[in-house]
Amino acid sequence: MAFVTSPAGTDDDGPVRSWREAMNDALYGERGFYRRPDGPAAHFRTSAHTGSLFAAAVVELLGRVDRELGHPAQLDLVDVGAGHGELLSCVTEQAADGLPFAPRLRLTGVEVAARPAGLPAAIGWTEQVPPVTGLLLANEWLDVVPVDVVELTVAGPRTVLVDPTGRESLGGVPSAPELAWLARWWPLTCVGNRAEIGSTRDAAWAGAVSQVRRGLAFAVDYGHSAGERPAYGSLVGYRSGVAVPPVPDGSCDLTAHVALDSCLAAAPGLLTTQRAALTQLGVRAVRPPQELAGRDPAAYLAGLRDAGEAAELLDPAGLGGFGWLLHGVGMAVPLGSDRAT
């Protein structure tokens, strides 16, 4: 693609801005994508949308945290970037079925979007991460924290600018902190290569984690670590289940893979895969025995459904390959790793 070099400003199609500013407006501005009533589930599928096993694994983890913390009088489960509250609603159902810590459980969704209609009354809804004693989670939040895009030119790295139609141009030299982040986490070596500067995600994650007084924080996302960065970046749009060119006009999601190793450095702990984490939390993709079909057809069908759901959550080429970033406060991370951190 050929670029013209231009200062930030406006063109005939609207303001020319850095990707970070454009994403911020297109996703979270007054008419932003995430302000729309249809919600993320209308456009892409996350672990929270697959069924109840992901919530059951979160409940299992919450139980471990509760034990580690010595059964606090109030046990928090805070979901940052809670979407339409799918995960918390599912946990509410499981709590109603008789979890031992249910009477002490406080559920909170942290969201830019308005409280969804019909959300169970027991779930709190806020824009700010509250103080947490218990478990804070963020499923596919960090990938939608706006980032700047930088391209290496013959004159050095330049910030990529974009107008509301998605037309790009090259701007100025990135700031000193951005250059330092690039040098440490994503050095560009070939002209034309691109990076997404993850310092905004590092700060977002460290900020959320800082609200945990005692307990565990974990973030789940697709991402990369040093040595496996995409040469031309990963910024893409999603609309109605389909990947589309990233156009910052509020019509589509805008997302880029997360530099997970850099986030881990911002809040040290453990980095593992969803497959490894969920396996340790009891998720198994095992078909029910054939003989169950005759003896208890309903149980057999439920077992088949669970096996399919688990296979989706554990798929190493899909959700199972996502990274889990874990950080304990006043407790050890109650999971092991399957990859070097």
Ligand X SMILES: C[S@@+](CC[C@H](N)C(=O)[O-])C[C@H]1O[C@@H](n2cnc3c(N)ncnc32)[C@H](O)[C@@H]1O
Phi-psi region of 23 (alpha: psi -120 to 50; beta: other; left: phi over 0): alpha
Which listed range, 57-65, 81-89, 181-189, 259-267, lies at the site for ligand X (CB under 6 A)?
A: 81-89
Give the angle 256-31-240 at the CA atoms, nearest 5°.
55
Three-class DSSP category at 90: helix
**Integer Cα distance of 120 and 339 in angstroms:** 38
Query: Which residues, 6 or more positions from 145, have their beta carbon under 8 angstroms from its beta carbon?
Result: 200, 201, 204
Binding of ligand X by 112 (CB under 6 A): yes
Question: Least CB distance from residue 41 to ligand X, whole Å?
Answer: 7
Q: Using CB under 6 A, which of the segments 41-49, 174-182, 243-251, 259-267 binds ligand X?
A: 41-49
Q: State yes or no: residue 202 binds ligand X (CB under 6 A).
A: no
Q: Of 144 and 310, which CB lies nearer to ligand X in the complex structure? A: 144
Residue 113 makes contact with ligand X by CB under 6 A:
yes
Size of the site for ligand X (CB under 6 A): 17
Q: How many CB atoms lie within 10 A of CB 298?
A: 8
Phi and psi angles of residue 312, each rounded to the nearest 5 degrees, phi first: -65, -45
Contacts of 235 (CB under 8 A, 6+ apart): 19, 147, 149, 196, 246, 254, 255, 256
The CB-of-38 to ligand X minimum distance in angstroms stands at 11
The CB-of-131 to ligand X minimum distance in angstroms stands at: 16
> Which residue's CB is nearer to ligand X, number 39 or number 303?
39
Using rule CB under 6 A, residue 78 touches ligand X: no
- Cα–Cα distance for residue pair 110/136, rounded to 1 Å: 10
β-pair partners for 65: none
List 25, 66, 111, 148, residue binding ligand X (CB under 6 A): 111
Stretch of 104-112, 166-174, 283-291, 328-336 contacting ligand X, by CB under 6 A: 104-112
Q: Segment near ligand X (CB under 6 A), from 44-52, 59-67, 183-191, 267-275?
A: 44-52
174 binds ligand X per the rule CB under 6 A:
no
Candidate list 19, 34, 185, 222; residue touching ligand X; CB under 6 A:
34
Q: Please check whether residue 235 is in contact with residue 272, taking contact to mean a CB–CB distance below 8 angstroms.
A: no
- Kindly state whether residue 246 participates in binding ligand X, applying the rule CB under 6 A: no
| Closest approach of ligand X to the CB of residue 136, in Å | 12
Whats the size of the chain, residue-wise?
341
Residue 144 or 270: the one with the smaller Cβ distance to ligand X is: 144
Instruction: Rule CB under 6 A: say whether 40 interacts with ligand X.
Output: yes
Is position 157 an interface residue for ligand X (rule: CB under 6 A)? no
Among residues 66, 140, 196, 249, the one that binds ligand X under rule CB under 6 A: 140
CA–CA distance, 160 with 147 (Å, rounded to integer) = 11
Q: Is 47 helix (H, G, I), strand (E, B) or coil?
A: helix
309 sits near ligand X (criterion: CB under 6 A): no
Confirm or reject binding of residue 325 to ligand X (CB under 6 A): no
Give me the least distance between CB of 249 and ligand X, in Å please: 17
Given the rule CB under 6 A, which residues bind ligand X?
34, 40, 46, 48-49, 81-83, 86, 110-113, 139-141, 144
